[in-house]
Homo-oligomer: A and B are copies of this chain.
Amino acid sequence: MKELPLAKVYQLLEPGPVVLLTTAAKGKANVMTMSWHMMVEFTPPLVACVVSSANHSFAALRASKECVIAIPSAKLARTVVAIGNVSGRDTDKLARFGLTPIAGELVAAPLIGECFANLECRIADTRLVAKHNIFVLEVVKAWTDPRQKNPKTLHHQGYGKFAVDGPTIRLKSAKP
């Protein structure tokens, strides 16, 4: 994995890809599928996301105060859906789905070797957790896999239906 400047993180998350979120607590890593996230600030990059208190990852995220957001390409679609349909409560999902945990630099949660980007995050604001399960995260380190060129991402439309990135269009804009 190659380091990505933090100022470019928004270009990965702003398009709304389905992501994986890894946590580690009591020496046990877990992974969940997540589509409810948004950018909040460019730099330092802040990201808000919803992790339901019904998710097994919720307690690990709250206790460890850190996580990794890993971005899969469309090639991982079947794995992404499978991860979303079982719980870490009774399954070691990383092992079961053949994902390669890679040690991060600043957080204990693992990067995922098969994902084209991995963002190490620390919790920045928990004020909306109790009411809405909204966590605000700060991305403290970002990595991309230079071997995965022009990855196509997944955009979930409900019950396993996804739009895959299609053509790219480039229009002149002064705004980031």
Contact = CB atoms under 8 A, between A and B. Distances in A.
Contact of A165 (B39, B84, B163): B163
A81 B166 CA distance: 19
Interface string A133-157: 1101000000000000000111111
Nearest to A169: B162
Interface stretch (A22-30, A106-114, A123-131): A123-131
A169 B74 CA distance: 9
A58 interface: no
B158 A48 contact: no
B41 A132 contact: yes
Given A11-B158, A46-B132, A132-B136, A166 B169 contact: no
A175 B85 contact: yes
Interface in A1-30: 8, 10-11, 14-17
A160 B26 CA distance: 44
Interface string A44-70: 001011100000000000000000000
A94 interface: no
Contacts of A132: 40-41, 46, 48, 125, 136
A167 interface: yes
Interface string A92-125: 0000000000000000000000000000000001
Given A15-B156, A15-B157, A161-B168, 5 more contacts: A16-B17, A85-B175, A153-B155, A154-B169, A162-B170
Interface of A: 8, 10-11, 14-17, 35-41, 46, 48-50, 74, 77-78, 81, 84-85, 125, 127-128, 131-134, 136, 152-176
